[in-house]
């Protein structure tokens, strides 16, 4: 019998405590557990089987997770943003036997059923990576690896209402869902995707804890109602948290605890930095006080060795002989600090010189007339690639003069090959489903 599952954790939380809040109403712990139990009764064929949960609403997904964790052998979580072709391919790759596209309908039976498990084992949770290029890869987790850094103080958890701005099918969104459920907090789920509408709803709902990517935080800080949120907990993850965004959040929310977390679908939640500074302490590298074992490879890749790693072929192929996972994130050491440079796969090759787009972005964001920027590579017959910057100006004004100022600023601080060859001014910057900036190649 399963000792720990989502449902068993919920047994320790007062049944009349509100756990989910949305424009359609509130759901208590008791109501969530009863809905999950009804789902199990309706689908006895799921026991010990592999099930795909595809594009469900947040309420449906959370109900299914509570119902099937510890009951199904495997749960594959796929967001609605994936094409049907990719979804079908991933469902088949995971060997799923049943597929849910809605809880209002019976699941679709897929492959020929394998022999079910007579004794239930911990459920394998499979997530798809959220990279912006190529086919998503499948990463195996368990409730233990997904909730490793979750704070489970139910008495303190009752003080927080989390706002959900991430897709809950993605690793970052799932972290928010698990943090709220396992700590007895409320989870506020907006019905609209418009960010201004979300902020107003969060303000009306007294949301005081919010997790978002740095890109999304910059967007949130430009909304009119953001100052009305009574935030006590601010979390950043998924992208590099530069000093500019950390300082801006501290200025607007001086009473809030601000944490930037290093986490990914592949590595899980590895460590959190709470000192208000970009990067993390150098003493954590090969040190005894680090939250996890950390190394820097000869290629300047961040290497991690947490107590328990996710499973799957993708993870196995990136583990060295000492058990360290190559995160494929590049870092640099400056003084007593380690700073992130960006993904090794995202490097722009300009005439044989390597350019980290995030490093160029951080430089341009230093300018007060720039609200945000995204940098990417464009093919060039002469140099291989050119550095292109799409800039969101902070104010109306002469774009020609701002372009000159950006180039002057970059040339004074970076090598020639890092300076953007093209600067375009745009009204919005695209984000992918994980809340990260889209890099056009």
Q: Which of 22-26, 274-278, 338-342, 394-398 has the lowest mean pLDDT?
A: 394-398
The CATH code for residues 195-343 is 3.40.50.12780
pLDDT grade for 287, boundaries at 50, 70 and 90: confident
- Retrieve residue 144's tokens: 């233990």
- The pLDDT tens digits for 333-376 are 999 999 999 888 889 999 889 999 999 999 999 999 999 999 99
Provide the pLDDT confidence category of residue 433 given band limits of 50, 70 and 90.
Answer: low
> What's the CATH architecture for 6-11+19-148?
3-Layer(aba) Sandwich (3.40)
- Pair 169, 215: CB distance under 8 Å: no
Helix axes 357-365, 399-413, angle to 10 degrees: 120
The CA-based angle 186-189-191, given to 5 degrees, is 155
Q: Packing angle between helix 171-183 and helix 58-68, nearest 10 degrees?
A: 70
Mean pLDDT calculated for residue range 2-27: 90
Where in the chain are all domains bearing CATH 3.40.50.12780?
Answer: 195-343
pLDDT of amino acid 186: 96
The tens digit of pLDDT for each residue in 303-328 reads 998 777 666 677 778 888 888 989 99
**Stronger pLDDT, 351 or 440, i.e. the higher one:** 351
Rounded to a whole number of angstroms, the CA Rg of the chain reads: 22
CATH 3.40.50.980 in the chain, residues?
6-11+19-148
Angle at 120 between CA 114 and CA 122, to 5 degrees: 105
Name the segment(s) of the chain with CATH classification 3.30.300.30.
Answer: 347-425
Q: Which residue has the higher pLDDT, 438 or 165?
A: 165
Which alpha helices (H) appear in 370-434, and where do they start and end? 399-413
pLDDT in tens, 178-217: 999 999 999 999 998 889 999 999 999 999 999 999 989 9
Flag whether pLDDT at 1 surpasses 60: no
Q: If you average pLDDT over residues 242-263, what whole number do you get? A: 94
**So what CATH class is 347-425?**
alpha beta
Q: What is the pLDDT of residue 319?
A: 86
- 3-state SS, 88-122, equals HHHHHHCCCCEEECCCCCCCEECCCCCCCCCCCCC
What sign does the CA torsion over 40, 63, 30, 235 have? Answer: positive
């Amino acid at each position: 019998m399963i000792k720990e599952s989502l449902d068993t954790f919920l047994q320790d939380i007062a049944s009349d405590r509100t756990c989910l809040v949305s424009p359609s109403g509130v759901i208590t712990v008791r109501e969530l557990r009863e809905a999950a139990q009804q789902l199990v009764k309706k689908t006895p064929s799921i026991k010990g089987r592999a099930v795909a949960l595809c594009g469900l609403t947040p309420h449906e997904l959370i109900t299914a997770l509570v119902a099937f964790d510890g009951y199904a052998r495997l749960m594959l979580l796929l967001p609605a943003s994936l094409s049907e072709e990719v979804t079908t391919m991933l469902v088949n790759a995971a060997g799923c036997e049943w597929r849910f596209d809605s809880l209002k309908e019976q699941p679709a039976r897929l492959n020929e059923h394998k022999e079910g498990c007579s004794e239930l084992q911990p459920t394998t949770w499979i997530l798809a990576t959220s990279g912006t290029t190529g086919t998503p890869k499948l990463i195996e987790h368990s409730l233990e690896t997904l909730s490793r850094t979750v704070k489970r103080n139910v008495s303190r958890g009752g003080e927080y209402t989390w706002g959900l701005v991430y897709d809950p099918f993605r690793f970052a969104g799932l972290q928010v869902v698990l943090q709220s459920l396992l700590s007895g907090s409320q989870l506020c789920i907006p019905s609209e995707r418009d960010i201004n509408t979300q902020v107003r709803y969060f303000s009306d709902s007294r949301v005081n804890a919010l997790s978002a990517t740095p890109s999304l935080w910059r967007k949130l800080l430009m909304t009119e109602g953001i100052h009305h949120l009574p935030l006590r907990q601010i979390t950043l993850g998924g992208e590099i948290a530069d000093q500019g965004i950390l300082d801006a959040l501290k200025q607007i929310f001086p009473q809030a605890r601000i944490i930037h977390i290093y986490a990914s679908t592949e590595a899980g939640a590895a460590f959190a930095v709470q000192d208000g500074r970009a990067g993390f302490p150098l003493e954590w590298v090969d040190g005894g006080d680090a939250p996890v074992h950390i190394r820097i490879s000869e290629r300047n890749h961040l290497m991690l060795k947490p107590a328990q790693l996710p499973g799957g072929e993708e993870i196995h192929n990136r583990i060295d002989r000492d058990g360290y996972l190559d995160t494929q994130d590049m870092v640099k050491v400056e003084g007593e600090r380690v700073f992130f440079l960006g993904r090794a796969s995202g490097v722009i090759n300009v005439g044989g010189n390597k350019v980290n787009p995030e490093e160029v972005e951080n430089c341009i964001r230093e300018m007060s007339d720039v609200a945000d920027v995204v940098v990417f590579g464009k093919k060039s017959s002469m140099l291989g690639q050119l550095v292109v910057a799409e800039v969101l100006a902070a104010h109306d004004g002469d774009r020609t003069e701002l372009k000159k100022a950006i180039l002057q600023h970059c040339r004074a601080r970076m090598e020639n090959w890092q300076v953007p060859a093209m600067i375009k001014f745009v009204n919005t910057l695209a984000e992918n489903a994980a809340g990260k900036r889209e890099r056009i190649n």
